[in-house]
Amino acid sequence: MKEDFLHYIWKFQRFSNPLVTTKGECVEVASVGMQNQLSGPDFLNAKLTIGNQLWIGNIEIHIRASDWFLHKHETDTNYDAVILHVVWEEDVEVYGRDNNPLPTVELSKIISEELLIQYQRFEFSENSWIPCEKIVDLPKPVLLSNWLERLFVQRLENKSLLIEQLLKKSNNDWEAVLFQLLAKGFGLNNNGDAFLHWAQSFPFSILRKLWHDSQDVAALFFGQAGMLEDDIEEGFYQSLKAKYTYIKHKYQLNLGSKNQFQFYGLRPHNFPTIRLAQLTALYSAHKTIFSMLTGSISLKEVYDVFDVEVDSFWNEHYTFSKASKKRTKRLTQNFVDLLLINVIIPIKFTLYKAKNEDKNDELFQLITGVSPEKNTIVNKFKEIGLKSKNALETQALIELKNNYCAKKRCLQCAIGHKVLNN
C-alpha cells in the first residue's frame, strides 16, 4: 500500500460505503480540497460536515495513523488546521493540539475489493512492459487527446531545462543557443554531445562576423572540429586549412579535437563531416535563421529553410581524404522532422514561456503536421492498441512511458485512472 493510492481514493471519493469516522460520525464532503504538492497537509481548504458540524480546513493522509507521530506533525503548526485524518489503518488514536481526538476515517473498511485488486495489478506488474499492459482500457477519444497534449507539453517542459541552462551560460544569447541546439541535433544520438561541445568551443559572435563567406564558415567549423590538422594535398582541404589558421590566430581560438566525433558504425550520410558541411550551408544561406525559425512559420516554410546545398566538394566526398560516387547531400525531410521535434519546437516553447505568451495551439499545429516517429516505445504502444497519428502523439507516448509507466505513476495517468474506474 502506498500513500498516493490513498490520495487517489480521497481525491476522487472512491468509497464503496458511506463515509464515517472511526467514532461513527457521518462525514459529508462538499469539497475534497486542493491537492498540495509542497510540504504541509495533503489537501488544503477542504469543506465537509462531520456529524452536524461544518468544517473548513485541511486533510492529512497516512498509511497508518501512527505516521502522524512518526512525521512529528503533533509539533508542527502547519497541521493545526487539519480537520480530518484519512488513514488506511487506525493503529493509534491521534489528538490535535487542543487535546481532542482528531476525526479519523479508516479507508480499508470503505473501499471495494475490486478497486484494491485493480490497484494491486498495477503495483505488482513486475514483468510487464507497462503496468497496465494486459488491462489497458483507453479513455474516450477527447479525453485521450487532452491527456496526450498534456504529456507533450510536459515533455517540452523537460526539454526546456537544457535550453534554460544554455541560455544562462550564454548570457541569454538566444541565437547562440539555437546554434548549439541545432549542432546537437545535427549530431543525432551518436555525436549529439560532441557536436554540442564543439558548438560551445568558440564564441557565436565569431560566426556572426564570418557568415557572409561560406568558405570562412566552413574553415571555422571544420577547424574547430580538429579536422584540418592532417597532411592532405587536396586543394579544397588546403584552402580551408589556410583560412582556419588565419581565423584561429585572429580570434585566439583553442583548437578542438577531431577524436571527439564518432564515425565508426555510422552510415556515410551521417558522418560528422557531412553534418558539418550541411550546418555550414545552413548558416551561410540564412543570416536571420533565429527569427525565421522562432517566428510564426508553417511546416512547409521550415522545410524550405533547411533546403540548402552543401559545397560541391561534398557531393563527391564523405571525408576529406577519399573521393566517392557523386551524390547530393541534402537534408532529408525525416532529418528536418527530428530537428523540429528536438530543437525548433522546444526553443519556440521556451521563448514563448520566457515572454509569458501562451502559443501552445501554434506549436500543436506545427507538431501535428509531422509524421509519427518510429522507435521501440512507439511500436510497443501500437501493439497494445495505442497507435500514433503524428509526432505530438509519439512524443507524448515517450513521456508517458519514461515518466509515468516506468515510475508506476498510474494514479496520475489518465489511462490508469480509466482502468481503475472500470
Is there a domain that residue 138 lies in?
no
What residue numbers bound the domain in which 46 lies?
3-111
The region of weakest confidence among 106-120, 224-238, 271-285, 289-303 is: 106-120
**Angle 206-163-176 from CA coordinates, rounded to 5°:** 10
For helices 345-354 and 141-169, give the axis angle rounded to 10 degrees: 80
Are both 91 and 157 inside the same structural domain?
Answer: no
Task: Point out the least confidently predicted range of 117-126, 216-225, 376-385, 402-411.
Answer: 117-126
Least confident window among 3-17, 125-139, 146-160 = 125-139
Examine the fold and report which residue of 367, 387, 409 is the final residue of a domain before the chain moves on: 367
| 35-49, 126-140, 357-371: range with lowest mean pLDDT | 126-140
Residue at which a domain ends, from 320, 343, 367: 367
- The answer, yes or no, to whether residue 420 has pLDDT greater than 90, is no
Q: Are residues 218 and 69 in the same domain?
A: no
356 in the same domain as 294:
yes
Could you give the number of structural domains in the chain? 2
Considering the domain architecture, whether residues 187 and 300 belong to the same structural domain is answered as yes
Count of helix runs (H) and strand runs (E) in the chain:
17, 6
What is the per-residue pLDDT across 316-344, written as a single tens digit (0 to 9) for each? 999 999 999 999 999 999 999 999 999 99
Residue 349 lies inside a defined structural domain of this protein? yes
Nearest one of 143, 142, 132 to 419, comparing CA atoms: 132
Tell me the average pLDDT of the chain: 92
On whether both 190 and 84 belong to a single domain, the answer is no
Q: Is 284's pLDDT higher than 90?
A: yes
Residue 381 lies in a domain: no
Q: Answer yes or no: is pLDDT of 410 > 90.
A: no
Candidates 215, 148, 224; CA nearest to 414 is: 148
Could you tell me if 181 and 102 lie in one domain?
no
Residue 209 lies in a domain: yes
> Are residues 162 and 95 located together in one domain of the fold?
no
Asked, for residue 400, whether it belongs to a domain, the answer is no
- For residue 293, pLDDT over 90 is answered with yes
Q: Does 310 fall in a domain?
A: yes
Whether 396 is covered by a domain: the verdict is: no
More confident residue, 305 or 119: 305
Evaluate whether 104 touches 85 at the Cβ level (below 8 Å). yes
Res. 134: pLDDT tops 80: no
Task: Supply the pLDDT for residue 95.
Answer: 87
**What confidence category does residue 208 fall into, taking pLDDT thresholds of 50, 70 and 90?**
very high
Which H helix or E strand runs over 246? helix 235-251
Work out the end-to-end distance of the chain between its first and last CA atoms, rounded to an integer number of angstroms.
20
- The answer on 350 and 245 residing in a single domain is yes
Say if residue 39 is in the same domain as residue 176. no
Same domain for 248 and 338: yes
Task: Flag whether 141 is in a domain.
Answer: no
257-279: per-residue pLDDT in tens? 667 899 999 999 999 999 999 99
Query: How does residue 132 score in pLDDT terms, banded at 50, 70 and 90?
Result: confident
Q: What's the confidence (pLDDT) of residue 141?
A: 83
Residue that is last in its domain, among 52, 80, 111? 111
Q: Are residues 42 and 184 in the same domain?
A: no
Higher pLDDT, 242 or 76: 242
On whether both 185 and 107 belong to a single domain, the answer is no
Contacts of residue 17, defined as CB under 8 A and 6 or more positions apart, other chains included, come to 109, 110
The residue among 224, 220, 217, 225 whose CA lies nearest residue 260 is 225
